[in-house]
Amino acid sequence: MSSVPALRGYPRADGRKGIRNVVLVAYLVECAHHVARRIVSRADHPDIQLIGFPGCFPNDYALKLMKRLCTHPNVGGALLVSLGCEGFNRDALSAAITTSSRPVKNLVIQERGGTLTSIDEGLRWVTGIHGELCAIEPVPMEVDELVVATICGGSDGTSGISANPAVGHCFDRLVAAGATCVFEETGELIGCEQIMAARAITPELGAEIQACVDKAARYYSTLGYGSFAPGNADGGLSTIEEKSLGAYMKSGASPISGIIKPGDFAPAGGGLYLMDVVPDGEVRFGFPNISDNAEIVEMIASGAHLTLFTTGRGSVVGSAISPVIKICANPDTYERMTGDMDINAGRILRGEASPDEVGEEIYRKVIDIARGKTSKSEDLGHQEFILTYKHFDALGPACLPRR
């Protein structure tokens, strides 16, 4: 147990606790997006949030992630908005939510008379459920119950020498306190596979780490391009290896306990985990993550209560379901975009703080957010969300620790 004073958690039937108490409105095909968005807009409350899957044809990955998202510990209930003729398995999703002891309602637009009647019915339901959830009293929660993720986006030449090492320090603090931490992305860790393998808790896991990075390299080679944007080059990064080394710094120095794939629960009991986000099998779905928010969603689907987002060029996004903490690597960017940034890691470059000192500041911010304070992206109303088609094979036995 942690010596840090108790956090604030909302108890769920499966024993987990959430740091937020959200009602989701989830569209199950793009044709239902407008109705779902209008319900959320008219409800006009930060804890009534919109997520969804746009595809008309079924996909096992999307169904798995929607199940995990709608039963996330930060979520108290869900309205499922369906057109009625799409291929998404709404009954399976509804059953999973019911089994989790959360309230759920299926709203089928074709059966409810169209747009206006569906919006009215959905609005009545979500506002009623939100009122019930507001009556739930939070309970004490410890740091070792937290799942914390990290991602970098809009990286530049400062990211790997300021914000990312500071997050690495924070991750080491969290892992030492018993929390579970998740870092990504294998497509941006090319060149670091042997370093990570040496940190694996077993030789077998080390081999799996190398294999999943090799898979990412093959995937990008087939596509003909990698996870390296023009903005990265404009910001001073020269190669994917240079970007990878900077991204790697977010993982800190703790032993790597395992690999997970999107929607796999980050194991209880603490430790550091690598998320393999590149699809398995042949290249079928294009670029693995078409935006940073796609990866944030995948980490939330694996249980992340909040995400540490480092940026040098500047990014303004947040996320539905779980708070995003923005850590700015570049002092000039921070001065331009102070209203969007929670932490100024650029102080490291100006000699005003060390990476460890900023890492402690990030750690304290994690604790504050988990006690109910809001991040900048939450204050600004950022609730971005994206979910697309993918395919993943089941994890092998070497990927997770033996308990």
Query: Mind listing the pLDDT tens digit of every residue in the chain (403 residues)?
Result: 445 558 999 999 999 999 999 999 999 999 999 999 999 999 999 999 999 999 999 999 999 999 999 999 999 999 999 999 999 999 999 999 999 999 999 999 999 999 999 999 999 999 999 999 999 999 999 999 999 999 988 778 888 889 999 999 999 999 999 999 999 988 888 888 999 999 999 999 999 999 999 998 898 888 876 655 444 445 454 555 566 677 888 999 999 999 999 999 988 889 999 999 999 999 988 878 778 999 999 999 999 999 999 999 999 999 999 999 999 999 999 999 999 999 999 999 999 999 999 999 999 999 999 999 999 999 999 999 999 999 999 999 999 886 5
- For residue 230, what pLDDT is reported? 45
Pick among 3.40.50.1980, 3.40.50.11930, 3.40.50.2300, 3.30.505.10: CATH of 22-135: 3.40.50.2300
- For residue 289, what pLDDT is reported? 78
- For residue 155, what pLDDT is reported? 75
- For residue 158, what pLDDT is reported? 87
pTM, full prediction: 0.94
- For residue 1, what pLDDT is reported? 41
- For residue 156, what pLDDT is reported? 81
Supply the Cα-derived Rg of the chain in whole angstroms: 20
Distance CA 2, CA 88 (A): 42
Domain ranges in the chain are 22-135, 143-399
- For residue 268, what pLDDT is reported? 83
- For residue 93, what pLDDT is reported? 98
